[in-house]
Every structure is written in C-alpha cells, then in structure tokens.
Amino acid sequence: MKNRKIFVACDDSNIKNIKKIIAHTKTNKFQIIPKFGLQFFYSRNGRRFLENIKNDFWLDLKINDIPQTATSAIESLKDLKKCKYITVHANGGLEMLKAVKKNSKKINKGLKILGVTVLTSLNNKSLKEIGHTKKVEQLVLKQADLINKSGCDGIVCSAKEALMVRKKYKKLLIITPGIRLPGDSSNDQMRIMTPKDAFKNKVSGIVIGRSLTKGSIKHNIRRLFDHLNK
C-alpha cells in the first residue's frame, strides 16, 4: 500500500485549516502528499507558506500559455524547494510541454511535470459546448500522446480513462483526481471513481479531497484504509 501515491487536495485559503489537513493526514498506513491548487496559491499568505513548508508537495497550477511565459512561470517557482510535482495543461501544445519539461531540469532535477488532460468536471456535452468534436476518451488519448512525446513525467486524467491510457503508455505516471469514497457526494465532478477501483485501473496515484477533508479527517483516513483493504 505504501507504493500507492495518495495526494490530498488542500482546497482552502485558510492557513490554519491547511495546517490541520497536513497534520491530520499524517499516518503510518500510507504516505499522503498535500496538493495545493489555485485557491491556496493565489491567497494572500499561500505562496509564503509554501516557501517554508517542510513537506514534499504538489503544486497544481495547470500552467497553460505560450512556451516562453510558461517556462518563465516555472523559473519563478525555483524557491519552492519542497515542490515535487507541477502541472501544465496539454492544451498549451507540444512545444509548451517540451519547453516546460526542459526548463524544469535546470531548477530541480527531481521535479515531476504532469500534463493535465480533460478536467474531471467535464463530460461529452461540456466538450461539445466548448467546441471540441472529439469525445472525452478520444481527446484524453490525443492529449496523452502530446504529453508522452514532450518527455513530461506523467498525465492527469480521470480514472475512467486511466486503463485505456495505461495500455498505451506503460511508463507514464497516471494521477487521477475525481476520487470519492463509496457513498460520498460527487459535488462538481462528472467522471468519478472510488480509490480501490482507480487503483484497479492501473493508476500511479489518486487525488482525494472532500472525501478526506470534510468532517473528521482522522475518521476519513480510517475509511480510506478500510476501503483499500477490503
């Protein structure tokens, strides 16, 4: 179980709440790594907190811009020494993905660049509204191809597409958000799965947020442990 990567989504802008999430998700059952998104990073004290954090963490910024701007964004994060994962969006294109991966080596050789595909809040209807003609599965595979060609370390996709991606790309890290414990609300997510089913689909790691952080975190950790060991 300790080989399974589990990330907790720290979707809050209150430092006190973030410290509570980090403290209460420490367990000897498995390693849980905090993931910080836009809400926390953009908050008044969020970036300063990440400069001094003692834990390894994932910075989920979904960088999506022209290659020069994207690489400059990565360079501006070089002081965040404990950052082990950063996300860029596949929509930025092959050249942007390649530029970010190449530049990341100059900052931190251990930094993993993860390419984000179709957000788990979207479905086929949503993609059509945006203007895409491909279905979710087709678009994820297309984006996975760009991510793989770019040399990035992994892909972020829903667990529903993970097995399909794994069959084609054996070595990519596959990290899946949209994870809920059995019986929990899907909230704003469209393509969700339980942790156990996600790992059955050959994912490298899962992102779990409200199923862990809503209510008693310690109780939810026990629920997660029991669920994975059934």
Whole-angstrom distance, CA of residue 52 vs CA of residue 82: 9
pLDDT of residue 31: 85
Mapping DSSP to helix (H, G, I), strand (E, B) and coil, where does residue 81 land? coil
Between the CA of residue 118 and those of 31, 64, 177, what are the distances in Å? 27, 13, 11
62 is catalytic: yes
Q: What is the mean pLDDT of residues 171-175?
A: 95
pLDDT of residue 157: 95
pLDDT tens-digit series, residues 48-76: 999 999 999 999 999 999 999 999 999 99
Whole-angstrom distance, CA of residue 83 vs CA of residue 105: 13
**Superfamily of the domain at 5-228:** Aldolase class I (3.20.20.70)
- pTM recorded for the entire structure: 0.92
For the record, the structure tokens of 158 come out as: 């829903």
For the record, the structure tokens of 183 come out as: 């019986």
Residue 7 has pLDDT above 60, yes or no: yes
Residue 213 has pLDDT above 90, yes or no: yes
pLDDT of residue 28: 83
Residue 183 has pLDDT above 90, yes or no: no
**Helix or strand holding residue 139 (H, E):** helix 136-150
Whole-angstrom distance, CA of residue 87 vs CA of residue 153: 10
Which of 5, 62, 101, 160 is catalytic? The answer is 62
Between the CA of residue 156 and those of 15, 147, 204, what are the distances in Å? 26, 10, 10
Whole-angstrom distance, CA of residue 71 vs CA of residue 127: 28
Q: Which residue did the predictor score with more confidence, 43 or 187?
A: 43
Whole-angstrom distance, CA of residue 187 vs CA of residue 107: 37
